[in-house]
A and B are shown apart, each in its own frame.
Chain A
Amino acid sequence: MQRFANPGRFLRLADAVMPWAAIAATALILLGLYLGLCVAPADYQQGDTVRIMYVHVPAAWMALSGYVFIAVVSAVALVWRHPLAHLVAKAASPLGAAFTFLALVTGSLWGKPTWGTWWVWDGRLTSVLVLFFLYLGHMALYGAFDDERRGQKAAAILALVGAVNLPIIKFSVDWWTTLHQPASVFRLEGPTIDPQMLWPLLVTALGFMAYFLALVLLRAKQEVLSQRARALALLSAGG
């Protein structure tokens, strides 16, 4: 774990991985969209509207796993006093929030033709909205202190406390039974979704993950460099 605390090593690693992640993201998202929009069949009830799913569901997965990612990184940062992990958490937060927003918007656009309304106060929708506010709180707390290191640690603790809410989000499907269809991919008996529809979902999800990875690395790298620039500016001002 400490190996990556060295900013120089992290920067070299980021430079090596980032282009590949970016290429993989572009290729997989394009392939996933092609499979979802052109190859996969229309739903027998919902028609072509079902194709929103190929963006909506991977975005929702990313919304959730983005927060888990931040929580894990925050735990690493707190336990090993890992300065880079804090920067990675900061880099990931707006990305996760963006995926959550995307999931909410596409869900709303999907809800209008199928349920006849833009928004339903159902457990899962509401929990994702709460998740969005958790991201906003994380970002706000991170930047709320004059001393950035204090903000980093406070935000890390908040992320861990917020991660406690994640099980509630996941299982709220079963707690409140409403219009939202039950989970149909992650089930013990295996997915109930047709493979033709499952593939574009998985490909797009992988593409989103690669995109997330590439941007987290880019943003963390930018944070490291701007810290370095600030330190140099301080040095030259003091010297």
Chain B
Amino acid sequence: MKALLALLRRELLLLWRQRGEPLIAVAFFLLAALVFAFGAGPDAVLLQRIAPGVLWVSALFAVVLSLERIFEADLADGALDQLALSLPLPLVVAVKALVHWLGSGFLLLLAAPLVALAYDLAWPLWSTLLLTLLLGTPSLSLIGTVVAATALGARRGGVLIPLLALPLSLPVLILGVTAIDATAVDIDADAHLLLLGAALLFALPLSLVAAPAALRQALEAG
């Protein structure tokens, strides 16, 4: 328990000390949303219609691009070996995923209203948008830890990780966007939100089994 709290403190402290990186992810999110607008043209009606998709895809990209740093530094300086000795690996993974979410998904949740404003997202959709991001981005972080753990120590990890993570994240993206689109045509989005929650509950045990297994192999190989 003490070791767990110490790890949590350490990770939060690292997140705070290296706050430039999460902020770059947020900047990337905003920039990606801007680039979509340039791609689609200044037609306000069209932009309003594609806003849910733009928001979700930009968020997905921002999360996926920040995955590489989850374990990399800890493997390089040997901290990961130390953690593996002092704590069960599933707990390490859980803390890592939680802190990664705080530094990516959670910040995107705070930044999303800016994009929603710029795209003039209709008011009734705002709550659904924020709910889908709240339920969906933790799944992205969990899936992401699995991918980051399997690709740990790989050559060209920077391009490899998105290639692995994007297909696996697709169901979350689809559910998130369709939930907002359903609200837009006055359909109750509860079913979509429940499915998003189910995806989260599914990703949690899956990642706590798969990511530790991958980490163990990365440690053995190193």
Contacts and interface: CB of A to CB of B under 8 A. Distances in A.
B24 interface: no
A165 interface: yes
Given A137-B167, A157-B146, A161-B146, 7 more contacts: A144-B151, A144-B155, A144-B156, A150-B221, A153-B214, A155-B150, A157-B214
Interface residues on A, range: 20 to 34
A134 B150 contact: no
Given A146-B155, A149-B221, A150-B218, A133 B160 contact: no
Interface in B192-222: 206, 210, 213-214, 217-218, 221
A137 B164 contact: yes
A153 B215 CA distance: 11
B210 A157 contact: yes
A1 B213 CA distance: 22
Interface of A: 78, 130, 133-134, 136-137, 140-141, 144-147, 149-151, 153-155, 157-158, 160-162, 164-165, 168
B168 A165 contact: yes
Nearest to B146: A161
19 contacts: A130-B167, A133-B167, A137-B167, A140-B160, A140-B164, A141-B164, A144-B154, A145-B153, A149-B221, A150-B218, A154-B154, A154-B217, A154-B218, A155-B150, A157-B213, A158-B147, A158-B164, A161-B210, A168-B171
Given A145-B154, A157-B210, A130 B170 contact: yes
Contacts of A146: 155
B182 interface: no
Interface residues on B, range: 20 to 34
B166 interface: yes
A146 B153 CA distance: 9
A145 B214 CA distance: 14
B14 interface: no
Given A141-B154, A161-B168, A161-B210, A136 B163 contact: yes
Nearest to B221: A150
Given A137-B163, A140-B160, A145 B155 contact: yes
Contacts of B217: 150, 153-154, 157
